[in-house]
Chains A and B, each alone.
Chain A
Amino acid sequence: MAEGTTDVPIAGYSAPRPRAHGSALHRMARRRSTTALLMCVPLFALLAGFVVYPFFYSIYLSTLNRDMTRFIGLFNYQYLLSSNTFHLVIFQSCLFAITAVFLKALIGFILAHVMHNITGPDQKLWRGVLLLPWVIPPALSTLGWWWMIEGSYSAVNWLLQQVGIHPIAFLSSTAWARFWIIMVNVWFGTPFFMIMYLATLKSVPDQLYEAAAIDGATGWQKIRFISFPMLKNIISITTLFSLIVTFANFDIVQILTAGAPANTTHVFATYAFQVGINSGNIPMGSAVSLFMFPILAVFAIFILRGVTRRTREAI
């Protein structure tokens, strides 16, 4: 397309000499694509060296024994699949990702609608305030959360004591630790959903809502029959995207619990870190990470489909 429209006017000058025209055009196209390739070389080198190569290297590493001296085939995978700890990791990763993403999408959806009702500079102000959790580096804000809930003298426990509830050792109990991990993730990630939905809501024509209001639609009906269909595509894209990011999350779990108590709150990333970096078993750690790949790949394919469809609609 780009060639077609840009080359024509220039080629027009050499029209009287058809033979030269053809070869000049040919040479031009060749030079252009050479320049284009050269411009892509840095990107290509970066991705090849630090994304594609490590990925295949990781597959290779995962087939070695602990000291990386001997090929042991799929033994690492077999071992993980039969290990109870790893079953817990799979369970916790799925529980964490699904619950957290559902809550983020739900609260983000509500907040976007609520925000959409407000107009003018007020909206900008509120949007800025509600975006704050997303802006602070998650590792740093999670440290603040940790200090807020950890131990029996923590700030949350102090509040509970004011209303007569005994202090709870939140991060030493599996259920509470899971609850807080999801809570921190929802706190951090909701603004992203809110922003994405809000931007899409703004592109929905107001007339649709006005027509519905005249027809006597209730608020719920407006959401169900206008907002939801209009937002369907962006909801699926953001949800899938967030599933990937949440599923592969490291910061929050590592800082809040690092897998404690008794490995019950490990997700793939933190377990891979413990096995691969802390205990120095690089092959096993690679295997843990690679278990994420099939799931992520499926999500990625669906995202790509959604994005391509959206782009086509936009054109």
Chain B
Amino acid sequence: MSSATLAAGAAAPRRGRRPSIARERRWALWTSYIALAIFAVGFLIPPYFELVTSLKTSQEIGAGTDPWFTQHLFFGNYTSIIHNPQFQIFFLNSVKLTIVVVCVTMVISVLAAYALARMRFFGSQMFATGVFLTYLVPESLLFIPLFKELANLHLINNTWALAFVWPTLSVPFCTWILIGYFGSIPKELDEAAMIDGASHLQMLWKIFIPVAMPGIIAATIFAFTVCWGDFLYPLAFLFTSKQMVLTAGIVSTLIHGDVLDWGHIMAANILASAPPILIYAFLMDYYIAGLTAGATKG
């Protein structure tokens, strides 16, 4: 209304045409909701379609009826995929490897980030820049020499090969955002601890990790996502289904089976996507903070 009173004298004839700020805001709000709803529907179509397919019997999928709805919910795909020994191996391998790699990643990045953020030494600045640059190295640039390197180390077609190569995808970014988080901790804290006679490891363990917990959580989520969802490395380095992990396993093994049972595949797909979705549902704020910190802090 303030604009109306201010402009009353000068622009009286325009009052009818110009909407007030309040009305403009209301209008903006409604168009925003409509636009969001349209995009949300568009974004949700593929996951919805996977879900519907996973709830159909193979007869219904083959019958050529409406692919977007199902007459009755059928949970048989889920029970049979859970009891499928191949799927169990994939899942177990994924869980095993992801846990190991996330732990390794956090140890390496916390140590390095602490040193790079707090204890400047000769070349530390350059080293931090180098860490950031390796974050920009895409996996598709190096998978072929890595294939040869792993073959030389006799690690081809061995799940544990991923424990060596996956950290290269997760560590640079985790170190980078932790440098930012550690760097933002006030120096008075470590001065106080130092006067009390704390060693560096004690300072790291008792001050930096607890204070930078949001950053640690964001980094952990990032490491988890990268490992759980990686497709190229397992596809290139693993061949047999005993060694496979979920992503490459579902795509290469279940598809090339004798019968293409899409209900099964989609059920496997949804079960494999569930862990990241659940983690995001509960820890989204941490993740977003970490993601945006990656480009702004450091």
A: residues with CB less than 8 A from B are 1-3, 5-6, 9-10, 32-33, 35-37, 39-40, 42-43, 46-47, 49-51, 53-55, 57-58, 61, 107, 110-111, 114-115, 117-118, 124, 126-133, 135-141, 143-145, 147-148, 153-155, 158-159, 187, 190-192, 195-196, 199-200, 213-214, 216, 219, 234, 237-238, 241, 244-245, 247-251, 254-255, 268-269, 272-273, 276-277, 282, 285-286, 289-290, 292-293, 296, 299-300, 303-304, 307, 310-311, 314
Contacts and interface: CB of A to CB of B under 8 A. Distances in A.
B286 interface: no
A33 B122 contact: yes
B127 A40 contact: yes
Q: DSSP class of B's interface residues: helix, strand, loop or mixed?
A: helix
A43 B164 contact: no
A158 B63 CA distance: 13
A141 B51 CA distance: 11
Given A43-B175, A137-B229, A282-B148, A296 B136 contact: yes
B47 A132 contact: yes
A33 to B, nearest CB: 4
B138 A307 contact: no
16 contacts: A32-B119, A42-B112, A47-B172, A51-B142, A118-B32, A132-B277, A135-B273, A135-B277, A137-B231, A137-B276, A143-B269, A195-B288, A195-B291, A199-B292, A213-B3, A273-B143
Contact of B144 (A51, A245, A286): A286
Given A10-B195, A195-B292, A58 B67 contact: no
Contacts, number: 312
Contacts of A269: 138, 140, 232
Given A39-B112, A219-B28, A303-B136, A55 B142 contact: yes
A148 B269 CA distance: 14
Point out which of A61, A118, A144 has the most chain B C-beta atoms below 10 A from its C-beta.
Answer: A144
A234 B137 CA distance: 20
A148 B265 CA distance: 13
A114 B121 CA distance: 46
Given A35-B200, A128-B284, 11 more contacts: A40-B111, A43-B111, A50-B165, A110-B35, A135-B277, A143-B251, A158-B68, A196-B292, A247-B138, A250-B139, A277-B236
A143 B229 CA distance: 13
B291 A117 contact: no
Interface residues on B, range: 35 or more
Query: When A and B form their complex, which 5 residue pairs have the shortest distance between CB atoms, in order from nearest?
Result: A137-B229, A248-B138, A269-B140, A139-B231, A36-B119
Contacts of B164: 49-50
Interface of B: 2-3, 6, 18, 21, 24, 28-29, 31-33, 35-36, 39-40, 42-44, 46-47, 49-50, 53, 64, 66-68, 107-109, 111-112, 114-116, 118-122, 124, 127, 129-134, 136-149, 164-165, 167-168, 171-172, 175, 187, 190-191, 194-195, 200, 225, 228-229, 231-232, 235-236, 247-248, 250-251, 255, 262, 265-266, 269, 272-273, 276-277, 280-281, 284, 288, 291-292, 295-298
